Amino acid sequence: MMSFSPKHHIVRELALESVRNVRSLKGRSLLALIGISIGTAAVIAMLHIGHSARIEAKRQFESLGIDRVIITPLIGSGATTPIPFAFAKELVNQQTGLATVAPIIVSGTTIRAGRATLGATVIAADEEFYSLAMAVMAAGRPTTALDGLSPYAVLGAHVARGLRAEVGKVLAPGDQLTVQTQRVTIIGILAETDPNPVLNVDLNQSIIIPFAAARRLLPDPKISSIAARLAVGADERNMIDAVTQAFKSYDRQGGGVRVQTARQLIAGVDRQMAVYGLLLLAIGAIALVVGGVGVMNVMLMNVMERRREIGIRMAIGARRRQVAGMFVVETLVLSAIGSSLGTVLGTAAAWGFAACAGWAFTPSPTALPLGIGMAVAVALFFGLHPALRAARMDPILALRAS
């Protein structure tokens, strides 16, 4: 059988008495609990939401290919030499660390089908581009190098949907439309695709044509960027240096190139989300401080109403630290109950937010210890003043209080 020491017995009695005193506060206790609960819920919810948003952003980047690379020519002080298609494709064989390369020509345009007119982005690229952009065909086939100068086009999902709304029928492979002034035959339609921040293209709002056909359909067909895939086991830093040096050797008068990888973008997003997480935590902490002020007001009123009880306790031998400890424990009881309720509410709110946003809810590992810790710390901080005020009371004056 477990035996309790007198010290343990005193602690247990103090805790039970604190619970009884908190219950006797009734309405005021409820207000303090609501304040702490809302403050804790805000902190917990903000931490969970920030963490889930961070994981979701990284997941989206990673789902689009963590080994993707985009190479963009920079404009120097002089005229930059246009990048030949053959030179771009040859980067794979120059020990740059790239496994796949797809030069891209991007241009804004208007397309017409019947009387309908729609703005879109034209992307001229070879067949390698489809795998790099993770494009999936919903109907028909992709463009290939064998199409040559043929005026063929693959429509993005939103372009096809917009034309269907304007024309009044579903477009299919074999239908024709006009790009600028040229008649183009649709050979495929893409399934809806997530925008790719690495390749900086939105396939849904684009039409894809054969690379060689850009000379026929676009007014100034210059390579605007090169999509690529990092070779397995290749060092990212060495790849960037090798690609930069290759372009510098080719075009000494140009502005060079900017090489950006998916990992760099993920690291940038990670840093941004960390900043947003701190901002959300600060907002939640403000709500928690407001709850702490409510606890302090309740405990101050409690001290004033129990002045006679405090005087009696001191008269029969209670020490000032014991009186202060009594009110500190009551504050801890309030904060423990309030923070527990707030943790449940905050987690439920974060789960609901993630569900509405279409995210997978990922609980933050720091939410529970940090949220509860902050709640207890704030409650103790704001409960210390009433406790010290009770301990400093003059027993004679306290006994005279009615």
The residue written with tokens 């790849």 in the block is: 239
Taking residues 68-77, report their average pLDDT. Answer: 77
At a CB cut-off of 8 Å and minimum separation 6, what does 319 contact? none
Q: Indicate if the pLDDT at residue 73 is higher than 50.
A: yes
Share above pLDDT 90 across residues of the chain, in percent, rounded to a whole number: 13
User: Which pTM does this prediction carry?
Assistant: 0.65
Give dist(CA 392, CA 22) in Å, integer: 22
Give dist(CA 138, CA 156) in Å, integer: 10
Give dist(CA 58, CA 52) in Å, integer: 10
Instruction: Specify the higher pLDDT residue, 392 or 3.
Output: 392
By three-state DSSP, how is residue 202 classified?
coil
Share above pLDDT 70 across residues of the chain, in percent, rounded to a whole number: 88
Q: What is the pLDDT of residues 1-31, one digit of tens each?
A: 344 444 444 555 555 555 555 555 555 667 7
Quote the pLDDT of residue 1: 39
Type of residue at 159: V
Lowest-confidence range among 1-5, 280-284, 305-309? 1-5
Give dist(CA 40, CA 379) in Å, integer: 11
Q: Indicate if the pLDDT at residue 151 is higher than 70.
A: yes
Quote the pLDDT of residue 77: 45
Quote the pLDDT of residue 191: 93
Q: What is the pLDDT of residues 223-264, one digit of tens each?
A: 889 999 988 888 888 998 998 888 887 765 556 788 888 888
Quote the pLDDT of residue 2: 40
Q: Is the dihedral of CA 283, 285, 289, 294 positive or negative?
A: positive
Lowest-confidence range among 169-183, 279-293, 356-370? 279-293
Give dist(CA 153, CA 313) in Å, integer: 90
User: Residue 318, by phi and psi: left (phi above 0), alpha (psi -120 to 50) or beta?
Assistant: beta
DSSP per position, 83-107: PPHHHHHHGGGTTSSEEEEEEEEEE
Give residue 81's pLDDT band: very low, low, confident or very high (50, 70, 90). low
Q: What is the pLDDT of residues 351-389, one digit of tens each?
A: 998 888 888 888 888 888 877 787 778 777 888 888 888
Quote the pLDDT of residue 187: 94
Lowest-confidence range among 59-63, 315-319, 330-334? 59-63
Q: Indicate if the pLDDT at residue 33 is higher than 90.
A: no
- Asked if 125 and 159 touch (Cβ cutoff 8 Å), the reply is no
Quote the pLDDT of residue 155: 93
Taking residues 50-69, report their average pLDDT. Answer: 77
Domain ranges, ordered by start, for the chain:
9-61+267-400, 75-255
